[in-house]
Structure 1
């Protein structure tokens, strides 16, 4: 029996708090909340807070990279 992406267990995924994401990205927590609410940065809601997969942060930064020259 094959599992879909939604059915596969999340094992070994490291989740970061909004504050941790802000430190990694060197932006404010409000900027992280804006990215989460706009859908640019995927997150999981846990109670009243959000958790962001670490890989999603690295993917976002990799895709947002701008070579100035």
Structure 2
């Protein structure tokens, strides 16, 4: 990512944004949030996920061997 692209990226993502970024189903993202694997914040009724937490989640995933 370039600096220009990074500055336009949202700091807080909706669940829908996380689904697109992670290419996972909505239920799976909610399960990851519920289990604590994907930290989130709650603002009123809305849940938001820090973009840094999404990046950290992806970085900690183990590589798969075939």
Which sections of structure 2, spanning at least 5 residues, go unmatched? 1-9
Q: How does 1:23-34 map to 2 (within 5 A)?
A: 23-34=20-31
Aligned-residue offset at 1:67: 4.1
State the TM-score, normalized to the length of structure 2: 0.77
| Unmatched tracts of structure 1, length 5 or more | 1-12
Q: TM-score, normalised on structure 1?
A: 0.74
Deviant stretches of 4+, over 6 Å:
none
How many residues align? The count is 57
Greater share of residues in helix: 2
Q: CA RMSD in A?
A: 1.6
Query: Is the partner of 2:54 in helix, strand or coil?
Result: helix
